[in-house]
């Protein structure tokens, strides 16, 4: 039975992905910063993990044992004018979205390389598929993971380990920016109000959106696809962006 470890599994796409794999008979290790009871079906292992803390990563990997698939889903968002974004918050985004992903990958590579098998799935965003306003810092953190993953895929292929990217579209039900600690009012100063208003109106009524189940299904395809395909857009809006032009 294959074992999958998923980061950021306390809500949203990570939680749905854990449920998706469990329903298909996988051994699921769901990790989150503050484990809570009752979120997941019986039989799913829940471990504490802060991807920005090296000691927490080491403890979680040791407790998990052999992992066949790593899904780097943990992430935080930031919406607003780049001018208004404190550098401390931008660094926080990169610590989780970029360096947290890299640290988790580095932690599992030795066991996968030794077994000459395994899959690493890094979850990014459709902001990497087309430039989007009011998301500059977040986009940068995810674009870095895209470049990292493309290069890493070549390195790991030599050892039978596959690297994949899942690129979710806009999912209104996810808690995209709730962990960053800044309000929309702080992030949209008065000079940007007229620019931001139609953008937020479009987000309120998007023609296409992504469901959490779309992301879970894309992660499953990526984890079980033995080909060298790197990118898996998730959700109709992401697929439309990926296939445009």
Name which of 233, 134, 110 is nearest 189 in CA terms.
134
Domain with 147, as residue range(s), is 3-237
What is the 8-class DSSP label of residue 96? I
The mean pLDDT of 138-160, rounded to a whole number, is 98
Segment 78-133, tens digit of pLDDT? 999 999 999 999 999 999 999 999 999 999 999 999 999 999 999 999 999 999 99
| Number of domains composing the chain | 1
- The pLDDT mean for the chain works out to 94
Catalytic annotation, pick one of 138, 170, 192, 232: 138
Alpha carbons 78 and 138: distance in angstroms, whole number = 6
Residue 72 lies in a domain: yes
Q: What is the pLDDT of residues 25-75, one digit of tens each?
A: 999 999 999 998 899 999 999 999 999 999 999 999 999 999 999 999 999
Q: Is residue 125 situated within a structural domain?
A: yes
pLDDT digits (tens, 9 = 90+) for 218-239: 999 999 999 999 999 999 999 9
Q: Is residue 242 in a domain?
A: no
Cα→Cα distances 105→5, 69, 70, 180, Å? 11, 11, 8, 23
User: Is 244 part of a structural domain of the chain?
Assistant: no
Judged against a pLDDT cut of 60, whether residue 180 lies above it is answered with no
What is the model's pTM? 0.95
- Beginning with the edge strand found earlier in the chain, give each strand of the sheet holding 69-72 in spatial order: 45-48, 27-32, 3-6, 69-72, 118-123, 161-168, 231-234
Backbone angles phi, psi at 93, to 5 degrees: -60, -45
Percent of the chain surpassing pLDDT 90: 88
Nearest CA to 203 out of 128, 135, 124 is that of 135
* Closest C-alpha to 9, from 235, 224, 216, 171: 216
**Residue 89 is among the residues annotated as catalytic for this protein:** no
pLDDT at 209: 93
Q: Which of 112-116, 145-149, 157-161, 169-173 has the lowest average pLDDT?
A: 169-173
Q: What is the CATH number of the domain that holds 158?
A: 3.40.50.720
């Amino acid at each position: 039975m294959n074992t999958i470890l998923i980061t950021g599994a306390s809500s949203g796409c990570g939680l749905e992905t854990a449920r998706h794999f469990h329903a298909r008979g996988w051994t699921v290790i769901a990790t989150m910063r503050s484990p809570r009871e009752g979120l997941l079906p019986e039989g799913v292992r829940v471990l504490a993990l802060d991807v920005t803390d090296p000691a927490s990563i080491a403890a979680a990997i040791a407790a998990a044992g052999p992992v066949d698939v790593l899904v780097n889903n943990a992430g935080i968002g930031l919406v607003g004018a780049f001018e208004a974004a404190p550098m401390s918050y931008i660094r926080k985004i990169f610590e989780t979205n970029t360096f947290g992903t890299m640290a988790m990958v580095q932690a599992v590579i030795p066991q996968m390389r030794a077994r000459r098998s395994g899959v690493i799935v890094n979850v990014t965003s459709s902001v990497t598929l087309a430039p989007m306003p009011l998301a500059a810092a977040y986009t940068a953190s995810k674009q870095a993971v895209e470049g990292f993953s493309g290069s890493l895929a070549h390195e790991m292929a030599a050892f039978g380990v596959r690297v994949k990217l899942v690129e979710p579209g806009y999912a209104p039900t996810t808690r995209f920016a709730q962990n960053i600690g800044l309000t929309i009012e702080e992030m949209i100063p008065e000079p940007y109000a007229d620019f931001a208003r139609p953008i937020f109106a479009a987000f309120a009524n998007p023609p296409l959106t992504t469901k959490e189940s779309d992301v879970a299904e894309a992660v499953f395809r990526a984890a079980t696809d033995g080909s060298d395909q790197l990118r898996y857009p998730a959700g109709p809006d992401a697929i439309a962006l990926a296939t445009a032009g």
